[in-house]
Amino acid sequence: MEFSAKNQEMANVFASILTIGIFEDDKALTPAQENLDIALNNLISDYLIKKEGFKGKFTDTVCIPTFLKIPADKIMLVGLGKKKDFSLAKVTEICSKLAKQYEKILNTKNVACELLGLNSKKFDAKACTKAMTEGFMIGAYDYDKYKTKKNTSEIKKIKLIAGTNQEEKEAKEGIVEAQIIGEAMNFTKDLINEPAQNATPEAISNIAKEMCEQLGVTCKVYNKKQLQEMNFNAFLAVGQGSVHEPKFIHLTYKSHNPKKKIVLIGKGITFDSGGLDIKPANSMLTMKTDMSGCATVLGVMKAIAQLKPNIELHVLSALCENMPSGSSYKQGDVLTAKNGKTIEVDNTDAEGRLTLADVLTYADELNADEVIDIATLTGAVVVALGQNITGIMGNNKTMINKLIQTGEKIGEALWELPIVDDMQEALKSDIADMRNTGSRFAGSSVAGRFLQNFTQSKNWAHIDIAGTAFIDKPYRELNKGATAAMLRTLTSYILS
Ligand code: BES
Ligand code: MN
Ligand code: ZN
């Protein structure tokens, strides 16, 4: 998809479809829309709005042919909904749905669209364009790598119509940023969707290395022998039942004079069978996605290294496969984590926290201002919050609230779950410092409490995307399947 922006009279556009936005509670045309209407002999006001009765309901569309080459073969109205509910998140959702709509209509290679709802005065042209471009890219994503018949109805060109030179300038900036983020999201989704047969720890670490070479970012990959020397014992235990060698990756982006140092950690289980505590077939079905945290932080690095904020960013992921075999770690095994604390293995399916424990300890050595881990960690978070709200917890209210607010602006919902010291009780072991599972109550919080034993950071947040990383049915701008949940929020958080 190729995006452009131009300050232009809409009547002079040359496109297969030209789209304009109409509010439900204010159908008066803007001056630019009025000029277009005049050039089209009142087609919009008389025919589409009066006779067809277009209501402007959120994401509703109506499309009719003009039998003209200029401004466009077809004119499409899209409903923006009520003005008071309008937001950037709504813009993204509308454009995601437009992308799919365009693909359904024949000969829609060349699309033009005005900057939607700019007259609401809720945001500037740059923010509007950014939300639009991200929406188009999210809506147009599909994973057809393994289909012999590829999708051929893809939109080739989208031209965004600005009303002033200033708007055009801002729109151009918005497009550049959004394309970086949209491409990072596609990269993350591709990694999550990739079958575990191919997305092995080694394959993912090679992809990370390749990406870093292109970005000019440093990338270190550690193998099993090195990790043994580095005492990543809890992590290595999880991977020991698999034929695939575990890998640990450490990516570093650093600006000239960074004002902040952030560590991002992504859970990287390339397949979670549960291990000897094997999962029922149904629960195992989507477990190739148990490296979504890793895919997300790699995507964030991809975006950040191109947007180049004045910070130092470290991205860490411990990659391995959790499998049952003769060499698997077992119930009752006692592991000595990298920080020296001992853990009794109570359940081999609570493997994510074991891998994250050692990475959190490694992160301590980096002395960062903030540490954020993101993981498909618990089924309990899916029960508590469903597939469209991400769980967040940690030890710093300000940081958590800022992450929640950042997500809200973008349309990625986060909800805080509590961690209290008493929860350590549930993790008591008779023979070790702790065990890796608690009772079945408050499962997500207890997992968070477990992780807290392995970080010294005073600014630590843990994000549980078990429900939101991969969804059963489409939601707002998101298609079903991999969502790249929190990539936009984390990127925006780091940039601010
Ligand atoms: N990877 C799973 C969590 C998960 C569940 C991710 C559903 C995506 C969708 C994790 O490793 C796991 O198995 N957690 C267990 C923990 C339990 C054994 C304490 C769970 O939630 O059942
Ligand atoms: Mn598991
Ligand atoms: Zn898991």
pLDDT in tens, 207-233: 999 999 999 999 999 999 999 999 999
Report which DSSP code applies to 458.
S
SS3 label, residue 411: coil
Respond yes or no: is residue 279 known to be catalytic: yes
The active-site residue out of 353, 435, 449, 488 is 353
Report residue 428's pLDDT band, with 50, 70 and 90 as the boundaries: very high
Beta bridge partners of 416: 392
SS3 label, residue 356: helix
Q: Ligand 1 pocket check: which of 349, 381, 382 to mutate, most ligand atoms within 8 Å of Cβ?
A: 349
Rounded alpha-carbon distances, angstroms, from residue 307 to 38, 261, 291, 338: 42, 16, 25, 34
Report residue 439's pLDDT band, with 50, 70 and 90 as the boundaries: confident
- Helix-strand-coil split of the chain, %, nearest 5: 40, 20, 35
Q: Give the Cα separation of 247 and 268 in Å (integer).
A: 10
Residues 477, 92, 120: CA angle, nearest 5 degrees: 140
Q: Give the Cα separation of 165 and 310 in Å (integer).
A: 29
CA of 193 to the centre of ligand 1 (A): 18
Give the residue extent of every domain in the chain: 2-176, 194-495
Using one digit for the tens of pLDDT, what is the confidence trace for 233-246? 999 999 999 999 99
CATH number of 2-176: 3.40.220.10
Q: Which residue lies with its CA nearest to atom 16 of ligand 1? A: 350
Q: Which residue lies with its CA nearest to atom 13 of ligand 1? A: 349
CA of 340 to the centre of ligand 2 (A): 23
Q: Give the Cα separation of 345 and 349 in Å (integer).
A: 10
Q: Give the Cα separation of 464 and 448 in Å (integer).
A: 9
pTM of the model: 0.98
CA of 380 to the centre of ligand 3 (A): 12
Q: Which residue lies with its CA nearest to atom 17 of ligand 1? A: 350
| Res 156: pLDDT | 87
Respond yes or no: is residue 74 known to be catalytic: no
Q: Give the Cα separation of 395 and 393 in Å (integer).
A: 7
CA of 239 to the centre of ligand 2 (A): 12
Q: Ligand 1 pocket check: which of 289, 346, 377, 382 to mutate, most ligand atoms within 8 Å of Cβ?
A: 377
Q: φ, ψ for residue 287 (rounded to 5)?
A: -75, 0
262-281 b/e (C-beta count within 10 Å ≥ 16 → b): bbbbbbbbbbbbbbbbebee
Q: Is the pLDDT of residue 343 over 90?
A: yes
Report which DSSP code applies to 28.
P
272 Cα nearest atom in ligand 1? 1
Using one digit for the tens of pLDDT, what is the confidence trace for 172-195? 999 999 999 999 999 999 999 999
CB 488 within 8 A of CB 89: no
CA of 290 to the centre of ligand 3 (A): 5
Q: What percent of the chain has pLDDT over 70?
A: 100
Task: Tell me the two tokens of residue 431.
Answer: 């023979």
Q: Is the pLDDT of residue 258 over 80?
A: yes
Using one digit for the tens of pLDDT, what is the confidence trace for 91-104? 999 999 999 999 98
Task: Tell me the two tokens of residue 283.
Answer: 């629960």
Closest CA to 22 of 65, 67, 86: 86
Mean pLDDT, the chain, as a whole number? Answer: 97
Ligand 1 pocket at CB < 6 A: 272, 290, 347, 349-352, 376-380, 382, 437, 443, 466
CA of 352 to the centre of ligand 1 (A): 8
379 Cα nearest atom in ligand 1? 21
Q: Which residue lies with its CA nearest to atom 22 of ligand 1? A: 379
Report residue 363's pLDDT band, with 50, 70 and 90 as the boundaries: very high
CATH number of 194-495: 3.40.630.10
The active-site residue out of 122, 260, 261, 279 is 279
Closest CA to 262 of 398, 363, 369: 369
